């Protein structure tokens, strides 16, 4: 997988994680489902909170 493909896949996973966070899904579940790290999910949650 090339760098652009990896970045695209990462962005897609982040988008899924944000949608799951909006639905109130637990961070632990999002980590298991997406393969993102807990830190990445927490950072997305912080960004989501700041947007609202």
pLDDT digits (tens, 9 = 90+) for 1-52: 787 999 999 999 999 999 999 999 999 999 999 999 999 999 999 999 998 7
End-to-end Cα separation, the chain, in angstroms: 35
Give how far the C-alpha of residue 33 lies from the chain's centroid of Cα atoms, to the nearest Å: 10
pLDDT for 52: 76
pLDDT at 17: 98
Torsion angle of the four alpha carbons 48, 50, 39, 19, in this order, in degrees rounded to the nearest 10: 0
Residue 2 has a pLDDT of 83
Contact (CB, 8 A) for 41 and 21: yes
Q: What's the pTM? A: 0.87
All structural domains of the chain with their residue ranges: 3-51
Q: Check residue 27 and give its pLDDT.
A: 97
CA 32 vs CA 4, 10, 24, 45, 51: distances in Å = 24, 15, 15, 16, 25
Q: What is the pLDDT of residue 1?
A: 73
């Amino acid at each position: 997988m090339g760098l652009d493909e990896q970045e695209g896949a990462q962005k897609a996973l982040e988008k899924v994680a944000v949608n799951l966070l909006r639905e109130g899904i637990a961070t632990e579940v999002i980590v298991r489902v997406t393969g993102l790290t807990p830190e990445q999910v927490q950072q997305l949650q912080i960004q989501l909170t700041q947007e609202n």
